[in-house]
Structure 1
Amino acid sequence: MDWNEGYVAGIDYPTGFFREQSPVHLSFACLTHGVEPVALDRPFNYLELGAGQGLTASVLAAANPQGRFHAIDFSPSHVQSARELAQAAELDNLCILEHSFAELAAGLVDLPPMDFITMYGVYSWVDAGNRKHIVDLIARYLKPGGIVYLNYNAMPGWSPSLPLQRLILERTQTDRHATHEQLVQAREMVQRLQALGATFFDGNPNLQYRLDSLREDKGGYLAHEYMSDGWMPLYHADVARAMAGAKMDYIGSGELAQAFPRLYLTPQQQELLDTVDDPMLRETVKDYMTNTSFREDIYVRGARRMSATRREHWLRQIGLALTSLPDMLTLELDLSIGKVKADPRYYQPVLDALVRRPHSLVELAEIPALFPLSLEDIGQMAALLTASGQACAYFLSAAELPVAPAQRLNAALAEASRFKDHYQVLASPLLGNGLAAGLIQRLLFRQLRRPSDRLDLQQCVQQMHDVLQAQQQPLFREGRVLQTQEEVLGELQHLTEAIVTRRVPIWRTLNML
């Protein structure tokens, strides 16, 4: 069999950062679901499977210097790109290896026992044999009490789109061109079928999201989503049964808002769900209620439910920091479950406090307006604000960690942005996580890192303009592409001033500068 074992090769998966894989997010998610988390105020071991070009692993290693990180991928081009980034940032706590899941499952790789094992997009993209290898390697390498994060395309939400995936797979398998060209041909076939009035497309309104994705998303993502032989959307019950073979207990979703069914299920749906005793069936029934097409499962090897006292002990170790611009804050929380209107009596005082500085949950509990709330209530608020992307929960012990690794990585990410806009994140050692950062932000960050008494904004603007030109990157204002050099320079001046006055203070608060 080929080295790729039916998994798509010949086109790299797009570089991306996924905060859900961070140790902080996973331990806080366990806490939110009432399960004992992994402590992060001491050394821990972390393994990422299918690490791609290593951006997530590099950001997490830089932002969590107390951890030892291992990133594994079977693509030589991915591994080389990941190693170059780690070397540029001098990350001595990150080891990047080229291995297959079969080699890991057989114990052929010398790895320490792991506290975290994570993967993004892998589990439903590989074949059944490799899914078995993943379960076996988890059984081999994960510590008791360790956490696994795996997401996957899910049923029943994917059911309307299965014929589309099969059509693309069949089209590409009959084409001997390079992977990118195969995808172009498959796109054209789908578009022609639509134009000719193929009944499948006309009679399938739930398909539109997939058709939009096929038209607009990057080829690297689409190739991995549609062109792997073993690709299969999965039912939660089947995944949970497989994971049980490695002594894993499902504890909840990595999407924090999912922990609060009252926000997205009707009272009648909640009442029906309460009658289902079997946890696998209950979760599957919920997927039918919400027509779930993508799941973010968290499993723990030997989950331990916490008492109220123990839960409060952990909540006292949590802080909350602002990640959005103050003038962009809103009480209408944009969550994966839909938009939720937050209670202004409690959420507004919290946001007002976070604008001033990060706060521990205990400090937030001392705000007079929050006196009626328990610390657990405030923890739920922290979870929803984190899920909305306006703030981020963190462990207070992170304030004492070295910041140099994150600052070295951020310098490397900013420097790489001169040549390509693919590392769209910066690391925060306070959050133990990454923070999204656009190209203009990263180019300015590069200038801020240089030893100088004064930032020359005009020079920054000109250098940004030169980079945009070299990368053939358009600049938009209110949805319109700016055409003239005068317009572009004026907009860059405006953006630079806004970043300096509004975004840079947040970076400093999060120990990024």
Structure 2
Amino acid sequence: MTDWTAGYMADIPYIYGYYSELNPLFVQLAFLNAGLALPQNGTACELGFGQGVSINMHAAASTTRWYGNDFNPSQAAFAQELAAASGAGADLSDEAFEEFCKRPDLPDFDYISMHGIWSWISDANRTIIVDFVRRKLKVGGVLYVSYNTQPGWAAMVPMRDLLSEYSEVMDAPGHGVAARIDNALDFADRLMATDPVYARQMPQVAKNLANMKSHERSYLAHEYFNRDWHPMSFSRMAKWLAPAKLEYACPAKYLDHVESIDLTPAQQQFLNEIPSTALRETTRDFMTGQTFRRDYWVKGKRTLSAFDQAEALRRHRVMLVTPRDRVVLQATGSVKAAGLAPQVYQPILDFLAGHQPRSIGQIEAAVRDAGVVFPLLVQALMVLAGKRDLVTVQDEQVTAAAKPRCEKLNEALIAKARGANVVGSLASPVTGGGIPVGRFEQLFLLARQQGQNSPQEWARFVWTVLAAQGQRLSKDGRPLESAEENIAQLGELAETFSERDLPILKALGVAS
């Protein structure tokens, strides 16, 4: 029998995550901050879309035509179910990379994305993907790729290989994947208890193992237990992508644009003396101990003049999506946390507190009297966007076209929330992508859709859903047993949702 998995962990489903960096709209602020010309955005492709949450939200919440593949049929089926619910027309298949990338019916793409998969596939599949990008990415098009990097994983590579080897050699084939992972972690704990020299040389490994136990087994299976698992340096990634005529554009992680957050002045000066982009980025990863890079690459890099960059930035629209009083004036990078100057951030946040779309030019005019100059404003907005307090907003015409599809997709996702916490995001036609919305909040929205008007009615509605399944809430680590306790706790959550979250979801087009 042919092994269609090619060594990939396919007998346990991947997590139902949403990744905003996959959103083509997310490219805009990153490119403008880097002084780069913006790409077109008519056709897009996601390779290895997992459960298809991101690609379906991006298809529903935009006018972009989306294509994608994931060779796991159960994951592709879930993705196709969501596509049918929204009616966005995304072309989603269960083809492997070799089959999908050779399809003659695929258009050329403005944007190609892949999240994480680069680290978990063979060199043969990497070659297929690079050739696909070479042939199918338009001139001026953007590739988003994220992958495990060497400096942050150096200590853990031997332990990962040991865990994988134990799972393959010692566990019976009939054991489930979750049990095999638990057994491998137990083996690692027993090894560490013997005080091996490796543990003394690499003290962070013990912390990594402890952290692994808190993750979902579906995440660990795909992150640690695939046959292929290759952390890669930036320099090597650049060599892989060179045949596709790609140049490094900028980080997709916004906080990496603000080097003062993670790097000391001496480190910044050291990096600035390195003329090679590949060597500079590789060296930077050593400074930050980077474990996972998120990067944009472009075919045909074009730099804007300082004038054109400033004008494009002033036209760019954003919206505050965190309640004003809950924005923390601190940003946490890869290495450390940095305080944010109140005299800069407070005027910006005060102007955006109404959660309405504003152009950067409008914000500039509003904060000018507070002494916030334009370069400082742009940096502050990058930080707020990197903290996910701020999002880019798309054109009103696109928002209007996407709204009906988002409503249909969100109805399907909220219906799933009745049984379990499946997808923790909903689609926003304003942002062109997903917005975090927890299970209880989704159920409160469902109660509103069914005519329940007050937070207390929402709480009782949600309790009927939970009670029918024998589910309970907890408070301060203690399960709540009585119906009265559960309804009271849900009532508090519903009141908070009504006062704090619902107005923002309305502004984002997620709630009516």
Work out whether the TM-score is over 0.5: yes
> Which residue in the other structure is 1:294 paired with?
292
TM value normalised by structure 2: 0.93
Q: Pick from 142, 156, 163: which aligns with 1:161? A: 156
Q: Distance in 1 between matches of 2:474 and 2:197?
A: 38
Q: Distance in 2 between matches of 1:96 and 1:173?
A: 32
Q: Distance in 1 between matches of 2:218 and 2:246?
A: 32
Unaligned runs of 5+ in 1: none
Q: Pick from 138, 160, 177: which aligns with 2:133? A: 138
CA contact (8 A) 1:349 1:369 kept: no
Amino acid at match of 1:240: A
Q: Distance in 2 between matches of 1:277 and 1:465?
A: 61
> Which residue in the other structure is 1:385 paired with?
384
> Which residue in the other structure is 2:265 paired with?
267
Provide the secondary structure at the position in 2 that maps to 1:46: strand
Once the two structures are superposed, residues 377-403 of structure 1 have per-residue CA deviations (whole angstroms, 9 ceiling, x without a partner) of: 423222110111212122445555441
Q: Pick from 297, 312, 315: which aligns with 2:313? A: 315
Amino acid at match of 1:261: E
> Which residue in the other structure is 2:364 paired with?
365
Q: How far did residue 68 of structure 1 move?
A: 0.6
CA RMSD of aligned residues (A): 2.0
- The percentage of aligned residue pairs carrying the same residue is 30
Q: Distance in 1 between matches of 2:499 and 2:381?
A: 26
Q: Distance in 1 between matches of 2:61 and 2:197?
A: 51
Q: How far did residue 431 of structure 1 move?
A: 1.2
TM value normalised by structure 1: 0.93
CA contact (8 A) 1:333 1:339 kept: yes
Q: Distance in 2 between matches of 1:486 and 1:373?
A: 51
CA contact (8 A) 2:456 2:494 kept: no
> Which residue in the other structure is 1:249 paired with?
247
> Which residue in the other structure is 1:406 paired with?
406
Q: Distance in 2 between matches of 1:191 and 1:387?
A: 36
Provide the secondary structure at the position in 1 that maps to 2:227: coil
> Which residue in the other structure is 1:421 paired with?
421
1:362/1:226 CA distance change after superposition, 3 Å: same
> Which residue in the other structure is 1:173 paired with?
168
Q: How far did residue 468 of structure 1 move?
A: 3.3
Q: How far did residue 310 of structure 1 move?
A: 1.7
CA contact (8 A) 1:410 1:426 kept: yes
1:164/1:468 CA distance change after superposition, 3 Å: farther
> Which residue in the other structure is 1:217 paired with?
215
Residue 11 in structure 1 maps to residue 12 in structure 2: yes
Q: Pick from 124, 141, 144: which aligns with 2:119? A: 124
Amino acid at match of 2:363: L
CA contact (8 A) 1:365 1:371 kept: no
Provide the secondary structure at the position in 2 that maps to 1:263: coil
Q: Distance in 1 between matches of 2:13 and 2:362?
A: 46
CA contact (8 A) 2:430 2:509 kept: yes
Q: Distance in 1 between matches of 2:261 and 2:251?
A: 15
> Which residue in the other structure is 2:146 paired with?
151
Provide the secondary structure at the position in 1 that maps to 2:440: helix
Q: Distance in 2 between matches of 1:192 and 1:368?
A: 58
Residue 498 in structure 1 maps to residue 499 in structure 2: no
> Which residue in the other structure is 1:434 paired with?
434
Compare 151-160 and 398-407 and name the one that shifted more. Answer: 398-407
CA contact (8 A) 2:44 2:112 kept: yes
Q: Distance in 2 between matches of 1:446 and 1:123?
A: 38
Q: How far did residue 53 of structure 1 move?
A: 1.2
CA contact (8 A) 1:382 1:392 kept: no
Amino acid at match of 1:403: K
Q: Distance in 2 between matches of 1:234 and 1:469?
A: 48
Residue 31 in structure 1 maps to residue 28 in structure 2: no
> Which residue in the other structure is 1:87 paired with?
84
CA contact (8 A) 1:31 1:37 kept: yes
Q: Distance in 2 between matches of 1:53 and 1:109?
A: 25
CA contact (8 A) 2:400 2:429 kept: no
Provide the secondary structure at the position in 1 that maps to 2:120: coil
Amino acid at match of 2:145: L
Q: How far did residue 9 of structure 1 move?
A: 1.6
Q: How far did residue 309 of structure 1 move?
A: 1.7
> Which residue in the other structure is 2:99 paired with?
103
Q: Distance in 1 between matches of 2:478 and 2:305?
A: 55
Provide the secondary structure at the position in 1 that maps to 2:118: coil
1:363/1:78 CA distance change after superposition, 3 Å: same
Compare 210-219 and 335-344 and name the one that shifted more. Answer: 335-344
Once the two structures are superposed, residues 249-274 of structure 1 have per-residue CA deviations (whole angstroms, 9 ceiling, x without a partner) of: 11121111111223321121112112
Q: Distance in 2 between matches of 1:185 and 1:87?
A: 39
Q: How far did residue 48 of structure 1 move?
A: 0.7
Q: How far did residue 209 of structure 1 move?
A: 4.2
Q: How far did residue 467 of structure 1 move?
A: 3.2
Once the two structures are superposed, residues 158-181 of structure 1 have per-residue CA deviations (whole angstroms, 9 ceiling, x without a partner) of: 011011111111012123233333
Q: Distance in 1 between matches of 2:433 and 2:9?
A: 29
Q: Distance in 2 between matches of 1:317 and 1:485?
A: 52
Provide the secondary structure at the position in 2 that maps to 1:144: strand
> Which residue in the other structure is 1:277 paired with?
275
1:234/1:67 CA distance change after superposition, 3 Å: same
Q: Pick from 345, 350, 357: which aligns with 2:343? A: 345
> Which residue in the other structure is 2:459 paired with?
461
Compare 295-304 and 458-467 and name the one that shifted more. Answer: 458-467
Residue 326 in structure 1 maps to residue 338 in structure 2: no
Q: Distance in 2 between matches of 1:290 and 1:464?
A: 44
CA contact (8 A) 2:441 2:497 kept: yes
Q: Distance in 2 between matches of 1:382 and 1:393?
A: 10
CA contact (8 A) 2:314 2:359 kept: yes
CA contact (8 A) 1:318 1:396 kept: no
CA contact (8 A) 1:114 1:141 kept: yes
Q: Distance in 1 between matches of 2:142 and 2:471?
A: 40
Compare 406-415 and 174-183 and name the one that shifted more. Answer: 174-183
> Which residue in the other structure is 2:449 paired with?
449
CA contact (8 A) 2:50 2:75 kept: yes
CA contact (8 A) 2:60 2:402 kept: no
